């Protein structure tokens, strides 16, 4: 099996690549990544010399390059994670999200369709990794089901919703074996420090303000990133083409409660008096179109395929803080941007 994983140098992608490379030595894992600001090959240092791992630097928006790549390697499956992933960036530069998330996905679908039509028994699956944000925002009650109607509000979620529709259209129109999973908010090691949890870990460490949008009452459903990677593995191997699975932790928290818990954990880890870090909390202007509440019902995945989250949030958050405190160099590189130039020199675009 030759599996192409896109966006494998990013946060979730790097955990998926590691899990597949280590668990399936008989698969060859090709990690295709443009290495944008969010891509970092240092995330994969521990597996980069494994014989079943290959890195390819490239842009999914470049159709000619993608077609050539598929024609050369005849992948048996694709797990597609490459995306622009930050809501705030999508508000300032929506077009970049259309290019990567919509056009990039359609380029991959076209290339997959071509090799699938050439040999329908060889191409097994196009697995599209999506988000719960496509379902929009919940009120105080209810949860997102696989059947919930799409209602995206940010340019990011609109671009992901669009890519999901294209994936289903390629399945229904061309018979491409494809499926989608929609996951809630991930947290854990290697999370880029522009997102709420790693940003606040980094700011607490450096005694900087912790910016909380609005009143901090928005609710997210947090899942440890390795549990998401495990869910992707389960779905990849067990689910039927044409299906959709929701992935989530049944773990809803208001933003302010997450940050207060983080402050408490880091008071202890940094030997600061209790309550010290909470003083850094600063309420700032709300995000435009800020979704109030996300909550995923992952019963279908749990009942049909036997997956469940392995970690409680408090335990996962402790592990995450420990990772950031022991990987200071990673954090410094990411925030300085130096790593980009360093790795840029090692790989050339094919």
> Which residues lie near ligand DAU (CB under 6 A)?
85-87, 131-133, 184-185, 195-196, 199, 211-213, 218, 220, 255, 287, 294
d(CA 11, CA 283): 27
Does residue 235 touch ligand NAD according to CB under 6 A? no
d(CA 203, CA 207): 6
Instruction: Kindly list the distances between the CA atom of residue 258 and the CA atoms of 205, 226, 252, 270, 291, in Å, as whole numbers in the listed order.
Output: 16, 19, 10, 18, 17
Using CB distances below 5 to 8 A depending on partner kind, what does residue 287 bind out of ligand NAD, ligand DAU, none?
A: ligand DAU
Planar angle of CA 95, 96, 102, nearest 5 degrees: 85
Measured from the CB of residue 260, what is the shortest distance to ligand NAD in angstroms?
A: 21
Using CB distances below 5 to 8 A depending on partner kind, what does residue 82 bind out of ligand NAD, ligand DAU, none?
A: ligand NAD
d(CA 222, CA 140): 17
Measured from the CB of residue 244, what is the shortest distance to ligand NAD in angstroms?
A: 13
Residue 330: CA count within 13 A, CB half-sphere: 21
3-state SS class at 200: helix
Interface residue with ligand NAD among 41, 69, 77, 82 (CB under 6 A) is 82
Does residue 28 touch ligand NAD according to CB under 6 A? no
d(CA 337, CA 22): 29
- DSSP letter (8 states) at residue 144: B
Nearer to ligand NAD, 188 or 280 (CB): 188
Query: 84, 133, 227, 291: which one is catalytic?
Result: 133
Does residue 157 touch ligand NAD according to CB under 6 A? no
Query: 33, 59, 84, 132: which one is catalytic?
Result: 132
Using CB distances below 5 to 8 A depending on partner kind, what does residue 66 bind out of ligand NAD, ligand DAU, none?
A: none
Query: 156, 170, 224, 294: which one is catalytic?
Result: 156
Does residue 192 touch ligand NAD according to CB under 6 A? yes
Look up 156 and say whether it is catalytic. Answer: yes
d(CA 267, CA 278): 9
Cβ pair 11, 86 in contact under 8 A: no
Nearer to ligand DAU, 111 or 200 (CB): 200
| Residues designated as active site | 132-133, 156
């Amino acid at each position: 099996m030759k599996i192409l994983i896109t966006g494998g140098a990013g946060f979730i992608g790097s955990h998926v690549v590691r899990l597949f490379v280590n668990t399936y030595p008989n698969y060859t894992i090709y990690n295709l990544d443009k290495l944008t600001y969010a891509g970092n090959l240092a995330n994969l240092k521990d597996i980069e010399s494994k014989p079943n791992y290959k890195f390819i630097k490239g842009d999914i928006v470049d159709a000619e390059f993608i077609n050539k790549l598929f024609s050369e390697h005849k992948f048996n499956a694709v797990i597609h994670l490459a995306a622009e992933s930050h809501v705030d960036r999508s508000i300032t530069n929506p077009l970049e999200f259309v290019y990567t998330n919509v056009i990039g996905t359609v380029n991959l679908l076209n290339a997959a369709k071509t090799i699938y039509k050439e040999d329908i028994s060889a191409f097994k699956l196009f697995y599209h990794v999506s988000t719960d944000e496509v379902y929009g925002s919940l009120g105080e009650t209810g949860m997102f089901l696989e059947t919930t109607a799409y209602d995206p509000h940010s340019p990011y979620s609109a671009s992901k919703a669009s890519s999901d529709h294209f994936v289903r259209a390629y399945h229904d129109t061309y018979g491409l074996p494809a499926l989608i999973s929609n996951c809630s908010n991930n947290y854990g090691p290697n999370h880029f420090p522009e997102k709420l949890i790693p940003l606040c870990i980094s700011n607490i460490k450096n005694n900087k303000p912790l910016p909380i949008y609005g009143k901090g009452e928005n609710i997210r459903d947090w899942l440890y990133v390795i549990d998401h990677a495990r869910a992707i593995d389960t779905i990849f191997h067990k689910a039927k083409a044409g299906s959709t699975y929701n992935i989530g932790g049944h773990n809803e928290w208001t933003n302010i409660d997450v940050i207060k818990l983080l402050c408490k954990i880091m008071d202890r880890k940094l030997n600061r008096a209790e309550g010290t870090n909470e003083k850094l909390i600063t309420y700032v202007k709300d995000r435009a179109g800020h979704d109030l509440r996300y909550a995923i019902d992952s019963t279908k995945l749990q009942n049909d395929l036997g997956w469940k989250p392995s970690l409680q949030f408090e335990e996962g958050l402790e592990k995450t803080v420990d990772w950031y405190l022991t990987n200071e160099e990673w954090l410094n590189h990411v925030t300085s941007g130096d790593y980009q130039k360093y790795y840029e020199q090692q790989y050339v675009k094919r």
